Amino acid sequence: MRYSGWELEHQAQRGHDLVTPKESAVKTSLALLMSMCALILASCAGIESRQPLHTVASVDLARYAGTWYEIARLPMWFQRHCIDSKATYTIRPDNKIGVHNECVTDTGGLDQVDGIATIVDTQTNAKLAVTFDNFFARLVGPSRDGNYWILDLDLDYQTALVGTPDRRYLWMLSRNPHLDDVTYQRVVGKAQQLGFPASDLIRAKRRSPM
């Protein structure tokens, strides 16, 4: 028996219509399961492809001490009102580092906080754990791996890139309140190379001269 094109199409449609609700539900469940597996595999691949975060080979903390100006940072809740920030580091007699952070807010106020940095990696001095002087910070404390990693540092100790090992936080620092565009782009490129979302960096705003 020979069927015309229309009849073949009609037969196929009838076969499709004969699929029971149970079979349809099974097919839908399988499709959802396959989609979920694909998403899980994609997520795992993304985790595996993230490279380990490397710090600089060594840091002379005596040279690193002093005042650093924030040039750029990733968005972060606790600095949402800061427009002009700087940090001052001092070497303490107990070989820990005193930390004093301050920023001018968007309303013209001055926010300040003090803390202590402890060296986590004594081989490089590039990994530190900073705890600030407030109840919550003392209660939680820094991670064992530290929360202040020096990721890039020029030979003259004039620019630095500092971040956290989970890549959530990142700061570009300079000895000078202003940084030329060539150097800025070089450090941005380094941040991107290290796997940070460099396109999200927020450049600091400086106070207008009085």
Query: First CA to last CA across the chain, in angstroms?
Result: 97
Query: Could you tell me if 171 and 70 are in contact, meaning their C-beta atoms sit under 8 angstroms apart?
Result: yes
Enumerate the β-bridge partners of residue 129. 118
pLDDT at 26 over 70: no
Block residue for tokens 């839908």: 28
Q: What is the mean pLDDT of the chain?
A: 79
Poorest-confidence range of 2-11, 113-122, 144-153? Answer: 2-11
| Dihedral pair phi/psi, residue 172, rounded to 5° | -105, 125
105: left (phi over 0), alpha (psi -120 to 50) or beta: beta
Tokens of 55: 């710090």
Helices (H), 130-180: 135-140
In 3D, which of 93, 92, 143 has the Cα closest to residue 121? 143
CA dihedral 81, 197, 195, 190 (to 10 degrees): -80
Q: How far apart are CA 43 and CA 57, in angstroms?
A: 31
Block residue for tokens 């959802």: 32
What is the per-residue pLDDT for 40? Answer: 38
Helices (H), the chain: 5-17, 21-49, 61-64, 135-140, 181-193
Query: Could you tell me if 59 and 126 are in contact, meaning their C-beta atoms sit under 8 angstroms apart?
Result: yes
pLDDT: which is higher, 101 or 133: 101
Interval 130-140 mean pLDDT: 64
pLDDT at 75 over 60: yes
What is the per-residue pLDDT for 208? Answer: 59
Poorest-confidence range of 20-29, 112-121, 155-164? Answer: 20-29
User: pLDDT tens, 90-100?
Assistant: 999 999 999 99
What is the per-residue pLDDT for 136? Answer: 46
Tokens of 143: 């991670």
